[in-house]
Structure 1
Amino acid sequence: MSRGAAKAPSQRQLRVGEQIRHALARLLQEGRTHVDALTHRDVTVTEVRVSPDLKSATVFVTPLGGQDVTGTLADLRTAAPVLRHELARDINLRFTPRLSFQADRSFDEAAKIDSLLRSDRVRRDTAAATPEEDDDGAAS
């Protein structure tokens, strides 16, 4: 395996990530952030990726409607120490991971790919490249 190759997360990393995701979603919903600006924002926690040593976690979030991503991330970064403290109370881990927040761009990427696939140019190209099939599925 090369040095730069990314290793798939372990079952423990995935399980802890999901546990943190659920706990953070609950904390945000209950307003247990001590940041007033976050009490007026609806934020979806889409994914949490935990480091192999479980000491840091990257939290991917998207604000409802995708509005004011920058402001939401700033507020979450301000609230990170409080959220970490609240997480320590809610989940049973030896170390509560440091939280870093990033915008989840996967929905934007999916929408971009979908619009490309639906474009007339791509439809025309795929229709021309697809051979006609006869009744038993074999290309003619």
Structure 2
Amino acid sequence: MPKHQQKGSSSASAQRQLRVGEIMRHALAEILSQGGVHDPVLETNLITVPEVRMSPDLKLATVYVMPLGGRNTELVLKALATNKGFLRTEAARRVNLKFAPDLRFRIDERFDEAERIEKLLRTPAVQRDLKTDSDEN
């Protein structure tokens, strides 16, 4: 273990990652919602930013996005990648960090996964199993 790293610093580092990720999320969501990016795809699609995950060194931000209604995801990802430099610069102006993190955009699939699980829980077989389990208690 290096001398400069103290015991418990990994949890402090993780807390900082979470905190900076949330600040970046707010900044990017604000930029996208205010129409600050002059791109026809980004101007015509409402985009939510549910999460931003920061690397431990805070130099890379993985930005999870979801266009409203889940439509045009590939088009939106391409537009975000095209405007990555502007978004990075604009976010850096709003967030006080030593380095402006590089941005990587990904589609947030948690909503689809939650919907899939919800449908699965409503299937007759699962309902029957749940009813059987509750009858035994």
- TM-score, structure 2 normalization: 0.87
Paired residue for 2:27?
23
Paired residue for 2:89?
85
What secondary structure sits across from 2:58 in the alignment? coil
Count, aligned residues: 127
Task: Please state how far the C-alpha of 1:37 moved relative to its aligned partner.
Answer: 2.2
Unaligned runs of 5+ in 1: 1-6, 134-140
**Which structure shows the bigger proportion of residues in helix conformation?**
2
**Superposition CA RMSD, Å:** 1.6
Contact 2:66 2:108 in 1 (8 A): yes
Q: How does 1:4-83 map to 2 (within 5 A)?
A: 10-83=14-87
What secondary structure sits across from 2:83 in the alignment? helix
* 1:104 maps to 2:118: no
Contact 1:34 1:82 in 2 (8 A): no
- Identity over aligned pairs, percent: 49
What secondary structure sits across from 1:46 in the alignment? strand
What secondary structure sits across from 2:29 in the alignment? helix
Q: Distance in 1 between matches of 2:38 and 2:100?
A: 19
Contact 2:37 2:83 in 1 (8 A): yes
What secondary structure sits across from 1:94 in the alignment? coil
- TM-score, structure 1 normalization: 0.85
**1:18 partner letter:** E
What secondary structure sits across from 1:114 in the alignment? helix
Q: Which has the larger radius of gyration?
A: 1
